[in-house]
Structure formats: C-alpha cells, structure tokens
Amino acid sequence: MTDTERFDRAAPTWDHEDRRVALAQAVAEAISARVPLSRGLSTLDFGCGTGLVTLALAPKVGAITGADTSPGMLKTLAEKAQALGIPVRLRPLDPAGTGDLGGPYQLIVSSMTLHHIPDVPALFHRFAGQLQPGGHIALADLDQEDGSFHEDLTGVHHHGFSRDQIQAWLEAAGFLQIHLETAQVSRKNGKDYPVFLATARKA
Ligand SMILES: C[S@@+](CC[C@H](N)C(=O)[O-])C[C@H]1O[C@@H](n2cnc3c(N)ncnc32)[C@H](O)[C@@H]1O
C-alpha cells in the first residue's frame, strides 16, 4: 500500500484518536501565541489531513487553504468544514506532493507532515517561494526519535528532526527571525515524543 492509500484509509477514523486531536490543538495554540494572527492573513496548511489544525486556525485568519496528497483526507476535511459552516479551500496535490501550492500566502503552517517529505530543504525553498515578503511560517513536527513513533514506516522519511537541522535549513531558504520551541509532548505507547514548533519570517 502506498503512503497516500494508507492516509486515504485512515481518514474516516483519523480524528478518533484523542492524542492526535490534542496534539493538533496544542500546535494551533502554539501558533496563535507565536504568530500575530489576523482575519486578513491568507493561509496555507500544508499536509492538512482532516483539518485538525486548519479548522482550529480558520476563525483567526483570512482565507485558508488545505493542501494534501490524500484525496481521502481532503474529503473528510471538506465534510467537517461544511458541517461547521467554515469555508476552507482545498488543494489536492499529486502523489509526490509537488505542483502549485496556490500562493502567494501570508502564512504557511504544517503539522506532522515534514517527516513524510524526502527533501525537506527543497520544501522550505518552495515555501519561501509561496510566501509574500514578511510572510510567516509555522511548522510543527517530531523532535529526533528512535523510530518507534510509527508502527508502519511506509512513507516515513525521517525519524523526527534535530532543531539545529531545522534552523539551518530555514536559514538556507532565506528565513529570518527563526524561533524553535516545544509545542507539546505527545505520549504514545507509554513513551514521550516532544513536538517542536518552528516559526520564522520571509525577508
Ligand atoms: C501525520 S498526517 C498529519 C495531518 C494533519 N496535519 C494533522 O496534524 O492531523 C500527515 C499528512 O501529510 C500528508 N502528506 C504526506 N505526504 C505528503 C506530501 N508529499 N505533500 C503533502 N502532503 C503530504 C498525508 O496525506 C497526511 O494527511
């Protein structure tokens, strides 16, 4: 089964796991505390999944777009957004996740998706190209872990990241005002997995 098929299958029950909902909530709160959000900010959630972060941020930002490679995830997000009466633009991506992200945006967020991306430095350059000058980025993912976080390693390209590495890749992509903090410590199978939030601005 491909990574996309796995996420398609998981989509209808993705939100049933309390740990995921709590993590997304914590990430959305950390973003709200660190980035000056306003109703005018055009926003992209890259790897939005079922929209746990997208829908939490939607009332605090302007037009919000959810981009994802999984049609199943986007379908679940569309159903949730419609039920809640929250407008969300959907951007289906090809299986490689390449293609136009629909920018420029003033804010790009992403939660728990970077570890599924083979070439993260290239993605950071792509994000920079999709942001307006002065635009914000807010990216959450696992700190470096021992490979035990995922039971199925299909499509997992990184066992988390060192914060120094994330900082260096953001600098190389031209981002300024880089800040890394702990958004939450996610507990899974009796083990703690810290999740960082990296924020920065485009020059
Ligand atoms: C672990 S889930 C996180 C979903 C959501 N952000 C959340 O916090 O619940 C990772 C998401 O990234 C998507 N994804 C995987 N590879 C991708 C790629 N190359 N480009 C964009 N999205 C991708 C998956 O379909 C999935 O929805």
Domain segments of the chain: what residues?
Answer: 3-202
pLDDT above 90 for 38 = yes
Determine the residue of 15, 68, 115 to mutate for testing ligand 1's pocket, defined as the one with the most ligand atoms within 8 A of the Cβ atom.
Answer: 68
Detail the DSSP E strand segments found in the chain.
43-46, 64-68, 89-92, 105-111, 131-142, 175-188, 191-202
Structural contact between residues 138 and 156, judged by C-beta atoms closer than 8 angstroms: no
CATH topology of domain 3-202: Rossmann fold (3.40.50)
What pLDDT, in 10s, does the model give residues 141-156?
999 999 999 988 889 9
Going by alpha carbons, the residue nearest to atom 4 of ligand 1 is 49
Task: Locate the ligand 1 atom nearest the alpha carbon of residue 53 and give its number.
Answer: 8
This prediction's pTM: 0.98
What pLDDT, in 10s, does the model give residues 49-108?
999 999 999 999 999 999 999 999 999 999 999 999 999 999 999 988 888 999 999 999
